[in-house]
Structure 1
Amino acid sequence: MSKPPTHPTLPLWNGGGFEGAFKNGLWTVSKEMDKWRWRVWVIVLVAENLVLLTVWGIARWRQSGVTAVERGKQVAERLGCFTCHGQGGLRGITFAKKPRFDCPPWDGGTAMMYVHDESEIAEWILDGAPKALRETASYQQEQKERLVRMPAYRGLLSEEELRDLIAYWKAVAEWQMPPNDPKAAKGYEVAKASGCFSCHGPLGRGSPPNPGSFKGYIPAWDSADFEELVRDEAELEQWILDGVSERFRNNPAAQFFLRRAPIKMPAYRNYLSREELEALKAYIRWLRQRTGSSSDGSEKKLSGGDGR
């Protein structure tokens, strides 16, 4: 009796041949799928990190022109300075029965009553008062009677935050102002009278928010952003008189952001005289020289004087 024919290359249904081959095939497929899963996971991980780095980079770039003065304002808000000194440091607490116990605002010339030199600014912030004042009997007695005492912030802010806070205080207090240069001094008064500091911050050194604009804030006159916006005296004059330079007016991309920004630069063509315009430009030049046109608007004193 002859045996049934068999094919040497095909697994038998019995004896586990087919089942073993099937399992081996599944294992091979599973192994390949695992490889692809790892590849996809790595690709997704790299993509996520690239997105995060891009977002972080854009955020850093958008904040690159925010000045020390504006950062100092943010520090003051965080520390609660405006609780007693008023919003922006412009209005303090008054006590009608005992005016000498008032919490003074930082502007309006009150600085000269409390701060005799620049080194005392940090002492007021860190220790609540300069050391020489704290050691006097009259001060110690007054502190016992005061309803509100100046707190000491030592240990609550970094050195950089302290520098920024001092920069903001000096700007609001108009420290060492007006400039010694007569033309710049007149320009400083023109800027005050024309509302320039309301948008550009104290002394023109702030970076108030302006959502929808290219970087999200109004550029300070002493920041690196100013150099990108104003290439020369002619463009500065165009910005002041017409609210925009010809270069930006003819740039579609610039126009997109200028139209989108809710706070727009006003045009002073019919408001300022030629003399006032020249004085204002002189003040802006003086301000940029005083701060060294630094990227963050940090102040540096001019040599041979008090910085004015």
Structure 2
Amino acid sequence: MQVDIIAEAEELDNSGKRFFIDRWERDVSNLNSGYGITAVLEGGGLLEKAAVSISVVSGTLTPARARAMCERGRPGVDIQGGQPYAATALSLVFHPAHPKVPTLRADVRRFEVGGSAWFGGGCDLTPAYLNEADARAFHAFWRRLCDRHRPAPSLYEECKAACDAYFYLPARREHRGIGGVFFDDMAAGAPGGGGAVVAEAFACDVAAGVLPSWRGIAAARRQDAFGPAEREWQLLRRGRYVEFNLLIDRGVRFGLDGGRVESIMVSAPPLVAWRYMAEPKIGSAEAALLAVLREPRTWA
């Protein structure tokens, strides 16, 4: 699937740029071993930076990694660490050059600790400028996909609520973007989330749906006009993206504790900005975005 995503991303980018393919192996130690492929495109036409990564790692849980799992109430994990674990993940992030094209982030992953396995993942949209039709289309796509697995009680509504709750910066009192779907701790080979969802099938469907949920939005928005003011606002919003990754994101915190730093930080945007008290003018397009980030809406 990584190969297919890379091929489609290069076609969408349409600049002639190609992904740099970095195949890596982690040195075997008394705690961890693993391998992966980190693919990165930089300086493209549509994509200022894009990363599509796979990783397969195993080892022994450190106390810090065990705490990161226990914080969300994951049963069967010893908070002191010391248990064997295995993790497999596919992840991507697309940071567009155009301020009107929203950032796309997605992943699917499988964890196993002490003989217990579970799936997680999701897909979410982080725009610098709100386009309500795009937001409705994105969420409608994911509602349809979720409904194929469990229409009632609504798997989509459960995953949307989880996405809104997770991608939140308490210090800013803002959500990182307009959400999407997010799921975690969905037991492998068993019903999950309160209904008959087969976790592996759902995770595969989520992975297959990522680019179809975004490509039409990207194709339309890249035609929109923009200037230096819109670019500056995009860079300011990217600052929030970095804040979330470093302060909140569980995957980053898990990975930085003994993980491969280049593969963990590849999700960061290439250029960001911070400006003191950067509040937009009342009634502006920038203010319209902030209103939605502070009070999430129902889109589908």
Q: Same fold (TM over 0.5)?
A: no
Higher relative contact order (Cα pairs below 8 Å, separated by 6+ residues): 1
The structure carrying a bigger strand percent of its residues is 2
Point out the structure with max Rg over C-alpha: 1
Compute the TM-score of the two structures, normalised by the length of structure 2: 0.23
Q: Which structure has greater helix proportion?
A: 1
